Every structure is written in C-alpha cells, then in structure tokens.
Structure 1
Amino acid sequence: MQLGKTQTLKISEKNTSGWILTDDSGEKAFLPKIFVQDDKEVDDEIEVFVYQDDNKLKATTEIPLAEVGQFAVMSCVQSLPSGAFMDWGIIKDLFVPYKQQKSKIIEGKRYLVHLYVDEDLELITGTTKFKRNPQYQDLPFKQGDKVDLILMNESELGWNVVVNKEYIGLVYASDVFKKLYPLSEETGYIKAIREDGKIDVSLQPEGFENIDEFKQKILDKLNENYGLLYLSDKSSPEQIKEELHMSKKNFKKALGGLYKDKIVDILDDKIKLV
C-alpha cells in the first residue's frame, strides 16, 4: 500500500460502513460509505488516494492538492501551539508540526507546503521548510519542455519556483518580463538543466519554433491600439518589457517575421499594421 499516493485497489468486502480495499499484497484500507460507488461490486477495482487516520489506513476518491513528495499551496484551517492543520483537498486535514514551520503558520492564510512521510510516526506530514535550489538526478524533462510553475519567493538571482509540483528551479531576474506574485501559478519552460543538477526555467519559450506566440502578442497589442504600436527594433529592452512582457530578443524575432509576412511596416519609432 502506497501511503500518500493515488493507486488502484480491489474491493474485497462491503459492509454498512463502507468498503474494505486490498492491494496485491493483501494489505487493507477502508473506504468510508460516503465515497462508495453504486456501480462497483466485490473484486472490482477502484482508484483511490490512501492516507492514515487514527493509526488506520483509509481511502478516499477525493483528489488531494498534492501527494507525498509534492508541493501545493494550502490554506490553514486551524493553528495550534503544536502545529497547524491545512486544507489539502480531502476529508482529513494535513498536519504541519510547529518544528516544520519556517515561520508560524496563521489561520486563514495560504502557504506553500511540501508533503513527506514522517518515518518515526509513519504519518503523512507537511512542512514549509525546504531546501532552495536543490540538485537533482534523472529529471523527467528536457530543455524546452513546457511545465507548470508555482512561484515561491524572489531572491537576488530571480524567482525560486516549484516545477510540476515536485522540483525546485530558478527563473533568473533577466528572464522576468512582468509583475510576479508569491504563490501564484505560471506556465514555464525548461531553459537548462545544469551539470550540478539545478534547474533553470524561463517564463517564455525560446527559439524560432516558438515565435508564433510572440507574433500574436504583438498583433493583439496592435489591434488594441488601432493598428499602431510605439515600439521598434530600436526600442530599449525596458520599453519592450513594459509594453509586451517579452524580451527584446524575442520581440525582434517576432517583428522580423511579421515584416517578412508583410503584416506590419516598421518605421523609425513605431510599427503599424499594413
């Protein structure tokens, strides 16, 4: 039985309180009646999330915000001297012990939480203490891959981010072209996986194969401004960043493509739709 993971189990017994589920080894978990499905019978399989409650394995068909080994943004529903209880999307709240809190968790506020199994207690536990920019091996993505990001915090180098709920990476300040906020979600792209196992992330795709996205941004802005945009290939990176939220490099590539396609004219201080 994989504690803190979604898995497929077999229905071995039904009673008035719920169902007994088993895995291939015969280990059991209890699925309360509120989660049973009328179209299932004994020996059928069902996908559930397994957690621990009152020293017993229980199952739910609810989808948690995160599983063991992952990060998620959660709201605190109760804060006590011993720790805090977080809403992680299932019937039982997640406990973050006081010693696992980077700063005291306050009821009603949102926090980035990482899930792990406490080996001493064999309980799914949360922590807001995690290593910044850790080193990884055998990552499941490559340069250029599109990924989901959770923004952690801003540093001198840029923004620390969670990549696909499981990994910590960095968006360098030079790659930030819009206002960002902690705990918000963004789409990102793997910029580089360094030899030391650290992950560099960009908020924009790179290369000519991705230029259509930037061409569309320019066209959208032109349409908003009645066919005129007071930018050109001579504009400063700061002006382009403020107006279009893209780098000058990507702007020049996209602008060149639009000009070649005879969609825009490039003047000294502006561009306009043909």
Structure 2
Amino acid sequence: MKLGKTQTLKIAEINNSGAFLESENGERAFLPKIFLDENAEIDNDVEVFVYQDDDRLKATTEIPNAEVGEFAVMNCVQSLPSGAFMDWGIIKDLFVPYKQQKGKIIEGKRYLVYVYIDEASGRITGTTKFKRNQNYENVPFKAGEKVDLIIAGQSELGWNVVINKKYLGLVYTSDVFKKLYPLSEEIGYIKTIREDGKIDVTLQKQGFVQNIDEFKQKILDKLEENYGLLYLTDDSSPEEIKEELQMSKKNFKKAIGGLYKENIIEILEDKIKLINEE
C-alpha cells in the first residue's frame, strides 16, 4: 500500500461504519462510510488517498492538495508549541513539527509546505524547510515545456518557484516582466536544465516567433485602453517598457516593428498611435 498516495484498492469487507480496502499484498485501510458509495460491493475497486490516523491506515476519496513528494500552499488551522496543523484538503490535517518550521507557523496564515514520510516515525509529515537550489537527476522536462508554478519567494538571483508541485527551480530577475507575489500561481516554461541538475524557468515562451502574436496583442490591448495612444518608443527605457507592458525592450521593438509593417500603427517621435484613431 502506498502511504500518502492516491491509488486503487479493492473492497474486502463492508460494515456499518464503512469498508476495509485491501491492496494486492494484503494490507488494509479503512474507508469511513461517508466516503463509501451506497452501491459499493465486495471486490469493487475504489480510488482513494491513503493516510494515517492514530497509527491506523485510513482512506478517503477526498483529493489532498499535495501527496507525499509534493509541495502545496496550505493554511494553518492550529499552531501549538510542538508544531502546527495544516489544512491539506482532506478530513485529517497535516502536522508540521516545530523543528520542521523555517519560521514559526502562525494560525490563519498560508505557507508553502512539502509533504514527506519521516524516517524515524514512518508518519506523513510536512515541512517548510527545504533546499531552494536543488540538484535533480532524470528531470522529466524538456526546454520550452509549459509547466505550472507556485512562486516560493525572492532570492538574490530572481524568484524561487515550485514546478508542477514536485520540483524547485529559479526564474531569473531578467526574465520577470510582471509583478510577482509569494505563494501565487503562474504559468511558466522550462528554460534550461543545467548539467548540475538545477532547473531554470521563464514566465514567457522562448523565442520571438512563438511570442510575436502575444506581444503584438498586448500592445494593441494597451493602445485600446489608452484611446489609441501609447507613450513608448524605441528610445524608451527597458524599465518603462517592463512597467507598462511586462515585456522586454527587445520584444517590444520587434512587436511594434511588425505592427508598423502591417500598417496598424504609426511610430511617432514620442509615442505610437493606432492608425485611423482620432
């Protein structure tokens, strides 16, 4: 039985309280009646998440925010001297021992938590202490692949991120063209998987050809918002362009060049203008 994982188990016994589910090797977990289908029968397969409750294996059809080996943003529901209890999406809260807290966890606040099995106790445990700059082997990504990100926090080089709930990576400051907030979710793209196993991520697709329509549309949207005028030109600073459009100066210049060739905009001394706009 895979502790802390979602899996398919077979119903071995049903009673008034629920059902005992059994794995292929004969291990059992109890599924409370509230999660049991009223038409369930012996030998039916059930997809469940398996966890511990008072040294007893239990199952639930609820979907946890994170399984063992994954990260998730969780809210603290109770903080005690011994540790904190986090809401991780199932009926039982996840315990983060005091020694596994990077800083004291405060009730009612949200934290990025990694779920693992503690070697000493054998129990599913949470931690807010993890190495931000991990070295991985056999990373299942390729350059340019679209991924889901959780913004972990800022560093000297940029922003630490969690990739697809399982891997830690970095978005360099030079690749950030929008305001980011810790614990928020973003879409990203794998930029580089380095020889040392570290993962670099970008918030935009690599290559101008892939992005040209996106950048042009962003400029057109901004022009529409500003009555056909945008006070940016080739001479505008990278900071001004980033603040206004969340893109690099290089991509801005290529995009307005394309719009100009398509006779959609005029490029004036101190601004760009939609053609046929009054």
Tell me the TM-score normalised to structure 2 length.
0.95
* Counterpart residue number, 2:271: 270
2-structure distance, mates of 1:271, 1:38: 65
2-structure distance, mates of 1:179, 1:248: 17
- Superposed, 1:18-33 pairs within 5 Å as 18-33=18-33
* Counterpart residue number, 1:237: 238
Q: Please report how far the alpha carbon of residue 95 of structure 1 lies from its aligned counterpart in structure 2 after TM superposition.
A: 0.4
* 1:77-119 Cα shifts (integer Å, max 9, x gaps): 1111111111111000000011111111111111111000012
- Superposed, 1:253-264 pairs within 5 Å as 253-264=254-265
* Counterpart residue number, 2:156: 156
* 1:169-200 Cα shifts (integer Å, max 9, x gaps): 11111111222211111111111111111111
Give the match's secondary structure for 1:238: helix
Matched residue type, 1:267: L
Matched residue type, 1:175: D
Give the match's secondary structure for 1:161: strand
2-structure distance, mates of 1:36, 1:256: 61
Q: Please report how far the alpha carbon of residue 245 of structure 1 lies from its aligned counterpart in structure 2 after TM superposition.
A: 0.8
Give the match's secondary structure for 1:77: strand
- Superposed, 1:196-211 pairs within 5 Å as 196-207=196-207, 208-211=209-212
2-structure distance, mates of 1:100, 1:43: 41
* Counterpart residue number, 1:144: 144
Matched residue type, 2:62: E
Matched residue type, 2:231: Y
* 1:151-182 Cα shifts (integer Å, max 9, x gaps): 11111111111111111111111111222211
Give the match's secondary structure for 1:91: coil
* Counterpart residue number, 1:221: 222
Between the aligned residues of both structures, percent identity stands at 76
* 1:36-69 Cα shifts (integer Å, max 9, x gaps): 1124322121111110111111110111110100
Query: Are 1:77 and 2:77 an aligned pair?
Result: yes
- Cα distance, 1:257–1:11 mapped onto 2, change above 3 Å: farther
* Counterpart residue number, 1:185: 185
2-structure distance, mates of 1:229, 1:198: 40
Give the match's secondary structure for 1:120: coil
Matched residue type, 1:256: G
Q: In terms of mean alpha carbon deviation, does 19-28 or 259-268 score higher?
A: 259-268
Q: In terms of mean alpha carbon deviation, does 145-154 or 87-96 score higher?
A: 145-154
2-structure distance, mates of 1:39, 1:21: 15
- Cα distance, 1:261–1:41 mapped onto 2, change above 3 Å: farther
Give the match's secondary structure for 1:134: coil
Q: Which runs of 4+ in 1 moved over 3 A?
A: none
Figure out how many residues of one structure are paired with residues of the other and give that number.
274
2-structure distance, mates of 1:166, 1:194: 17
2-structure distance, mates of 1:211, 1:181: 26
Q: In terms of mean alpha carbon deviation, does 202-211 or 99-108 score higher?
A: 202-211
Q: Please report how far the alpha carbon of residue 244 of structure 1 lies from its aligned counterpart in structure 2 after TM superposition.
A: 0.4
Q: In terms of mean alpha carbon deviation, does 35-44 or 243-252 score higher?
A: 35-44
* Counterpart residue number, 1:61: 61
1-structure distance, mates of 2:104, 2:271: 52
Provide structure 1 residue ranges, at least 5 long, that are not aligned to the other structure: none
* 1:4-55 Cα shifts (integer Å, max 9, x gaps): 0111111122111001111222211111011111243221211111101111
Provide structure 2 residue ranges, at least 5 long, that are not aligned to the other structure: none
Q: Please report how far the alpha carbon of residue 248 of structure 1 lies from its aligned counterpart in structure 2 after TM superposition.
A: 1.3
- Cα distance, 1:257–1:47 mapped onto 2, change above 3 Å: farther
* 1:236-267 Cα shifts (integer Å, max 9, x gaps): 11111010011112222322332233322222
- Superposed, 1:41-56 pairs within 5 Å as 41-56=41-56
Q: CA RMSD in A?
A: 1.3
Give the match's secondary structure for 2:220: helix
1-structure distance, mates of 2:186, 2:172: 15
1-structure distance, mates of 2:219, 2:40: 53
2-structure distance, mates of 1:88, 1:112: 11
